Structure 1
């Protein structure tokens, strides 16, 4: 009887050790903890914009275009996204970040959006254009065709939102009955961001010479939510929707520093990005 009791005790101890070892394996999965990890992603976006009142001012003119309509300039699936010499041509998203604990990260990045005024739209104009300039006159909610000779206005290289984001990450793999998160992990992400706008604005105004240079024009804020699919611990696909507000009170429009524009609007962005996550 003593031998049987001893054997039973040994078997029980052995089973307990195996169970503890399995628990440790689960707890020690690479994807179980994020603190101290770095991540990097690169991808593309599509966006829509709210209507915007845009004020143009300078020597001998000051007028506002009301409810200007604009759109993005998509490239589609293209080799330029990975061509080092042409990466700034599509609408892209670059992000680098660090997990300060298992659930929260900080990141810096650039949302390289493109904003194009819809050409030949009819918009109301209020203000004055002085004598000696094309389209001179006084405007009071005057319907005006946005012809190429009147105005071409784009932030196409681009509407660069340089921002910092603070985000939360939650593993929801169990919702999909995924047990081995080191092979596939699904995370829910939410975040807020703030940053500056550094557009390269392409403008032809009242037949003045075309202007197209980078300039710090204002600031933006944003919120986002998305799903992160991490494969084999180190590689991931990030899908996000992001909404935000942009205010640019100092947009360069011509070669003269006395000429400028201002506008504010909301944007809604859809993002697909690919990235990596690792510890150093």
Structure 2
């Protein structure tokens, strides 16, 4: 009996990360993207923009929309729920709502052909091309391309937690490592070669990632900061209302997450 009690006393305290517990969090992110070659193809065109640069689009910090229940999904957000299937090991599922905006004022390399009856018709052999061209109405004349209503990365993760230090029985610091995989359901906002703007959700590809983070918890509540690095491949991006028109691209990303949640 005494030996059993001594063994229990020697067992490290797991805290919130014990088997059977679960958690949920909400937070916000910043995204950084590698240059990407994007191929656009349709009935009368097939070209690639090489070395395309893009940025995220963070919403200005303020109570509205960040804490407005009606507008909380407008910024770049993260939501996940997780379950501990083993002490210190959890599986989680959720969505990283990132934003990917092609930098409009850039010179890209254009390779391919356009034959749609526009001022851009021609054959291009790795030619320098200014994407910041506008027509007489002030609209983009060649291309506007952004996953701005969501570069929505819906993913599942396996996470490992390890307590670093217990400041008090309730206030603890832990590190988090994780790997994940998922699919991309972007709502791509594209205006291509004078076609009507297209903006619908479409299953476009897949992604994978790894991450590391630091968690500070007080009782059942926690704040977590993460850095996530991954790869996204989207071979089927919708660009217009016509199914013959599509785009494809792949790139790496770095994501910084700032998360608030609770254990249950």
Q: TM-score, normalised by structure 1?
A: 0.86
Q: RMSD of aligned C-alpha atoms?
A: 1.9
CA deviations on 1:23-47 (whole Å, 9 max, x unpaired) are 85x9696717511101000000001
Aligned to 2:153: 161
| Structure 1 residues 222 and 60: CA distance shift in structure 2, 3 A | same
Distance 2:39 2:16 in 1: 52
Contact 1:158/1:201 (8 A) holds in 2: yes
CA distance in 2, matches of 1:45, 1:56: 29
Give the superposition deviation at 1:84: 2.2
The answer for the alignment partner of 1:87 in structure 2 is 72
Alignment check: 8 A CA contact 2:204 2:237 kept: yes
Alignment-derived partner of residue 9 in structure 1: none
Q: Unaligned regions of 5+ residues in structure 1, if any?
A: 1-15
- Is residue 2:39 matched to residue 1:47? no
Asked if structure 2 preserves the Cα contact closer than 8 Å seen for 1:88 and 1:157, the reply is no
2:210 to 223, 239, 247: 223
Note the alpha carbon deviations across 1:63-88, whole angstroms, 9 max, x for none: 00000000000114332223222122
Show structure 1 runs of 4+ deviating over 2 A: 26-30, 76-79
Select 1:262's aligned residue among 241, 248, 255. 248
Aligned-pair CA distance for 1:236 = 0.1
The question of whether the paired residues in 1 share the 8 Å contact of 2:79 and 2:94 is answered with yes
* Structure 2 residue runs without a partner (length 5+): 133-139
Higher fraction of strand: 2
**Structure 1 position 129, deviation (Å):** 0.2
Which of 254, 259, 263 aligns to 1:273? It is: 259
SS at the partner of 2:195? coil
Structure with the higher fraction of residues in helix conformation: 1
Q: Secondary structure at the match of 1:63?
A: strand
Q: In structure 2, do the counterparts of structure 1 residues 34 and 132 end up closer, same or farther at CA, with 3 Å as the change threshold?
A: same
Q: Distance in 1 between matches of 2:125 and 2:198?
A: 28
1:70-149 aligned at under 5 Å gives the runs 70-79=54-63, 80-147=65-132, 148-149=140-141
The match for 1:203 is 190
* Residues 46, 198 of structure 1: alpha-carbon distance in 2 compared, 3 angstrom cutoff: same
Q: Distance in 2 between matches of 1:87 and 1:157?
A: 13
2: CA distance between counterparts of 1:118 and 1:197? 21
DSSP-derived class of the 2:125 partner: strand
Among candidates 198, 214, 223, match of residue 201 of structure 2 = 214
